[in-house]
Amino acid sequence: MEKLVAFICAALPWIAMALLLAIFFVRAARGKNEKDKKKDHSSEGIAMGMCLGVAMSTALHINIGLGLIAGMLLGLIVGSGIKKQDK
């Protein structure tokens, strides 16, 4: 059982980073067709997710890298779901 936990802890950052990059590249490829700027808060979500991920990983005494990557991924998902209002 310890080997399985060690494998999951070693593979989880790579899986999360691959998901983050896949979402980022799909959004970038879709944005090439649109001339206007993106109308969502994805970059703000990533920044807030990084801060909250590091804070949570420090508070829970887990690897900071895992918290950072998980926070970025969750921040991107939440931020891309919130649309900006037109001024």
Could you tell me which of 5, 2, 13 has the C-alpha nearest to residue 68?
A: 13
Could you tell me which of 19, 17, 26, 23 has the C-alpha nearest to residue 69?
A: 17
| Count of domains observed in the chain | 1
In a domain, 44, yes or no: yes
What is the domain range of residue 39? 2-81
In this prediction, residue 7 carries a pLDDT of 87
pTM above the 0.75 mark?
A: no
Percent of the chain beyond pLDDT 90?
0
What does the alpha-carbon distance between residue 29 and residue 47 come to, in Å, rounded to a whole number? Answer: 21
In this prediction, residue 27 carries a pLDDT of 76
Token reading at 63: 């690897």
In a domain, 76, yes or no: yes
pLDDT (mean) for 43-47: 85
In a domain, 62, yes or no: yes
Query: Residue 33 — pLDDT band, cuts 50, 70, 90?
Result: low
In a domain, 77, yes or no: yes
Residue 35 has pLDDT above 60, yes or no: no
In a domain, 20, yes or no: yes
In a domain, 87, yes or no: no
Contact in structure between 45 and 75 (CB atoms under 8 Å): yes
Residue 54 has pLDDT above 60, yes or no: yes
Any alpha helices (H) in 1-87, and if so which ranges?
2-31, 42-59, 64-81
In this prediction, residue 13 carries a pLDDT of 80
